[in-house]
Amino acid sequence: MTDETTSIVDSIQGEWVVTRYRIDDEFVNSAVDGPEATLEVAGDRVAGTMGINRIMGSIGADGIEGPLASTLMAGPQHLMDQEHRLLQLLDSADRIVVGDSGMTWLRDGLTVVELKRAGTSESVPSS
């Protein structure tokens, strides 16, 4: 890893909660009708839950490196749809912006997912 990659990966270590994600031109709050989606970064590995299924993969300065793997449990259709959308957005991210308590994942300069550090107030960096 380059120094830039190392510094970004180092700054995102720990547990994160998905607060909002993009659907077309709008943001929707995560966990409006279900459990919170979470990510935990440990080294260059990321794992988490999207509400029903667990996810795992590798992470670098530009976001997820390769597609995320997921368990294949079934649940209510609206939660399965949310999981599918979040996985697509996380996999598509090409840049991560990190603030004191928030993290924004972007694709082509457009915010696609916002997260907050677990245990902090809702706050994300501007993109």
Q: How far apart are CA 79 and CA 89, in angstroms?
A: 15
List the chain domain ranges: 3-115
Instruction: pLDDT band for 122, please (50, 70, 90 cuts).
Output: low
How far, CA to CA in Å, does 24 sit from each of 27, 31, 71, 85, 112? 8, 18, 26, 11, 10
Amino acid 118: pLDDT: 87
Pairing, β 63-70 against β 54-60: antiparallel
76-85: average pLDDT: 86
Amino acid 79: pLDDT: 84
Three-state secondary-structure class, residue 21:
strand
Asked if 114 contacts 82 with a C-beta cutoff of 8 angstroms, the reply is no
Q: In this model, does residue 1 exceed pLDDT 50? A: no
How far, CA to CA in Å, does 50 sit from each of 38, 44, 55, 75? 6, 19, 7, 11
Q: In this model, does residue 68 exceed pLDDT 50? A: yes
**Between 116 and 78, where is the model more confident?**
116
Instruction: pLDDT band for 22, please (50, 70, 90 cuts).
Output: confident
Q: Domain 3-115 belongs to what architecture? A: Beta Barrel (2.40)
Q: In this model, does residue 91 exceed pLDDT 80? A: yes
Q: What is the pTM of this model?
A: 0.79
What are the pLDDT digits (tens) for 55-65? 999 987 666 78
